[in-house]
Structure 1
Amino acid sequence: MVPDDSVHEDCQFLTGSPQRFAVLARLYDSPARPTDVCDSVDATRTTVQRILAGFSERRWVVKRDGEYCLTVTGRRVHDRYRDLLTELERARAVGPLAAHLGPIEEDVPAALLDPDSLTVSSEQSPLASVRRFTEWLRDVDGDVQAISPIVTSVFNEVAADLLESEIRIEFIIDHGVLERSATDFPTALERSLEHEYITTYVHEAPLDIGLALDASRVCLAAYDDRNNVRAIAESDEPAVYEWAESVFDHYLERSDPLEAAVSTS
């Protein structure tokens, strides 16, 4: 069903300025006279009167004994618009993660799309996500399963420290990471082949996400087209952990042992 023009006009009226929703929110708390609304909203009396007239025309408010009161419809409009603002705020916060999730985006648990679970890189702090991901890895509890579409000296150093602590690692990379490791990080590649506590696999296609699991926690990393970490999300919820295990298993099924990949490269 496509709304008619009058509905779009009503929507445009409400969204035309922040003051309009502010007036609606003020009346949501209690009925008020225009002067009372002016005291609560950053708007002139003329602007408030114009807004109240627009609300009255749409039957979102009625005037009783000099006070403006929200109608049932006005309250519903307020509630739905507040929910929309909340969702837009959430979308803005989660955008750097959501834009780079590739084929798993439709299945990502809601807990990983909670702004409170995120660390996001920005122009002011371009390495925020990498630093937090590194901290997460250094603080692992138990063995680790991980997927990575990149290789860096920092991650190699963390992996070496984990292996020194006798933490077992199952690691999935792609052929691009394998080629760069052979060229730039031969010692780390040799360690992946020979160390008893790490088992590495090479995925059949390029990877587009990063994922790490320890005994109880999940860390999901999203990378941009240049393989920069744009955002990470963390969770220790059991449902998220089950999801992450299934994602890891899905990629593992489509990967070959590193030894086999090296022998054919």
Structure 2
Amino acid sequence: MEAPLEEIEFLARSTNRVEVLQLLATGSHTRRELATVTGASQATLGRILEDFAERSWVRRENGGYVATATGTLVADGIDGLVSVLETEAKLRDVVAYLPTAELGFDLRRLADATVTVPTRTRPSAPLQRVLDAMDGADTLYAFSHTLNEQSLATAHDRVTTGDQTFEAVLSASAIDALAADDRLWTQLRALARNENAEIRVRREDIPLAVTVTDGTVHLLVRDDGGILRASLRTDDPTVRDWAEETFTRYWESASPFDPTAFEE
């Protein structure tokens, strides 16, 4: 019996092996059909099918080949490993900045996430991705340790025109930063007075910056110096549930925004 790591190496040495096993796990295929899909030669397919048969991963059926129960088990494991590695590659450049201790979901839920990072030509690309979503959303809720100028302006404009409902839990430090700028402070107070907006303040720190627009979750990722490193966008239902539960928890422990508490 081959050791598990040797079997992994056996599969990994050939993309044809992986592809053939995955195809046979979906149903019976003839060698001609396998050749058409994979581009492998008949000689190569012969060796692959023989190796698989020795491992009891495939069997002959009605002139074709199909995966056995254990062959399907291996194919499912390959699919899972490939998915994990694809997700890892997507997150590799931003994982150092992810607040993983605060994320109440398995990172595999980010398999379909869109990760946007700054570039030399588009240094604000992560933020712009979120702003675009905010600008087109009917409903928005957020919890964050910061509220930048552009996000505030977008929320203010959308709420003022009656195109959006806005709910946010902000850390006290985020409010203090806005209170230090007369223009931003005036804009925040106007936003808070609107009947379509409600802001609450949490004295304790909020270690995340999360915005949910019409059910789509956006996570802004910053480094220890506060520099924006990436935005992650996902429609995954598990991540959405986590965001909603976290927002509710913060909301219930926060106080209604009172501008006078931040004015000297």
TM over 0.5: yes
Distance (whole Å) between structure 2 residues aligned to residue 120 and residue 245 of structure 1: 21
8 Å CA contact 1:202, 1:261 repeated in 2: no
126 and 49 in structure 1: CA distance in 2 versus 1, 3 angstrom threshold: farther
Distance 1:251-1:40 versus aligned 2 partners, 3 A rule = closer
Partner of 2:217: 219
Q: How does 1:30-109 map to 2 (within 5 A)?
A: 30=28, 32=30, 38=35, 40-43=37-40, 47-61=44-58, 70-89=67-86, 92=89, 100-107=98-105
The TM-score normalised by the length of structure 1 is 0.68
1:208 and 1:170 map into 2 onto residues whose CA distance is 16
Tell me which moved more, 15-24 or 58-67. 58-67
Aligned-residue sequence identity (percent) comes to 21
Structure 1: which amino acid aligns with 2:170?
A: I
Matched, 1:134 2:131: yes
Map 1:122-201 onto structure 2 (within 5 A).
Answer: 122=117, 127-141=124-138, 144-165=140-161, 169-183=166-180, 185-193=181-189, 196-197=193-194, 199-201=199-201
1:170-212 deviations in whole A, cap 9, x for unaligned?
A: 43323443444344x4311233346522535244214323134
Q: Secondary structure at the match of 1:132?
A: helix
Q: How much has 1:121 moved relative to structure 2?
A: 0.5
Conserved? CA contact 1:119–1:128, under 8 Å:
no
Q: Which runs of 5+ in 2 are unaligned?
A: none
TM-score, length basis structure 2? 0.68
Is the deviation greater in 85-94 or in 170-179? 85-94
Deviations 1:111-154 (A, max 9, x none): x7462xx4420466664543332233223326x53223333331
2:7 is aligned with 1:10: yes
What is the alpha-carbon distance in structure 1 between the residues aligned to residue 171 and residue 156 of structure 2? 20
Instruction: Give the deviation of 1:22 after TM superposition.
Output: 2.2
Worse-matched range after superposition: 122-131 or 149-158: 122-131
Q: Please name the residue that 2:232 is paired with.
A: 231
Q: What's the secondary structure of 2:218's corresponding residue?
A: strand
Q: Is the 8 A contact 1:217 1:234 kept in 2?
A: yes
Partner of 2:204: 204
Tell me the residue number matched to 1:246. Answer: 245
Cα RMSD (Å):
4.3
Q: Which amino acid aligns with 1:211?
A: T
Q: Tell whether the 8 Å contact from 2:130 to 2:231 is kept in structure 1 after alignment.
A: no
How far apart, in 2, do the equivalents of 1:66 and 1:162 lie?
Answer: 63
Q: Secondary structure at the match of 2:3?
A: helix
Q: Deviations over 1:96-119 (max 9, x none)?
A: 898735444224899x7462xx44
Pair 1:159–1:7, CA change in 2 (3 A): closer
Q: Deviations over 1:49-98 (max 9, x none)?
A: 54344323323245799976644433332344234434544565577898
CA distance in 1, matches of 2:242, 2:67: 44
* Shift in alpha-carbon separation, 1:201–1:44, aligned structure 2, 3 A: same
Q: Give the C-alpha shift of residue 233 in structure 1.
A: 2.5
Distance (whole Å) between structure 2 residues aligned to residue 96 and residue 255 of structure 1: 34
Aligned match of 2:115: 120
Deviation of the 1:18 alpha carbon: 1.0
Question: In structure 1, what is the Cα distance between the partners aligned to 2:34 and 2:107?
Answer: 41
Contact 1:203–1:252, Cα closer than 8 Å, also in 2: no
How far does the alpha carbon of each residue in 1:13-44 deviate from its partner, in whole angstroms, 9 at most, with x for none? Answer: 122221211232455553545x8755543445
